């Protein structure tokens, strides 16, 4: 019998390039934060590509252009 991933689709017919569910997104972020698995292993567990894991992580990390510098009082 084939072993199923905990977070995998029940029917096993997930479309390629389909959007991640909020649960899958949360699971990716939680697994990365825990630091116990490689990005490739996380991708296998969730049922997506390693690049999707990278993209999901990047979406949750503010870039330098979106971070506003601290305001300083006038002298």
Would 42 be classed as within a structural domain?
yes
Question: How many helices and strands, by DSSP H and E, does the chain display?
Answer: 3, 0
Would 45 be classed as within a structural domain?
yes
Would 39 be classed as within a structural domain?
yes
Would 5 be classed as within a structural domain?
no
The pLDDT tens digits of the residues spanning 6-57 come to 665 555 555 555 688 999 999 999 999 999 899 999 999 999 999 999 999 9
Would 1 be classed as within a structural domain?
no
The residue with tokens 């977070």 is: 7
Q: Which domain holds residue 52?
A: 22-60
Helix ranges, 6-49 (H) = 22-34, 39-46
Would 50 be classed as within a structural domain?
yes
Structurally, the chain folds into a number of domains equal to 1
């Amino acid at each position: 019998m084939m072993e199923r991933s905990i977070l995998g689709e029940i029917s096993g017919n997930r479309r390629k390039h389909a959007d991640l569910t909020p649960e899958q997104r949360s699971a990716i972020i939680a697994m990365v934060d825990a630091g116990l698995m490689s990005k490739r292993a996380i991708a296998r567990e969730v049922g997506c590509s390693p690049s999707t894991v990278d993209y999901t992580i990047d979406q949750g990390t503010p870039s330098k252009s979106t971070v506003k510098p601290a305001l300083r009082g006038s002298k």
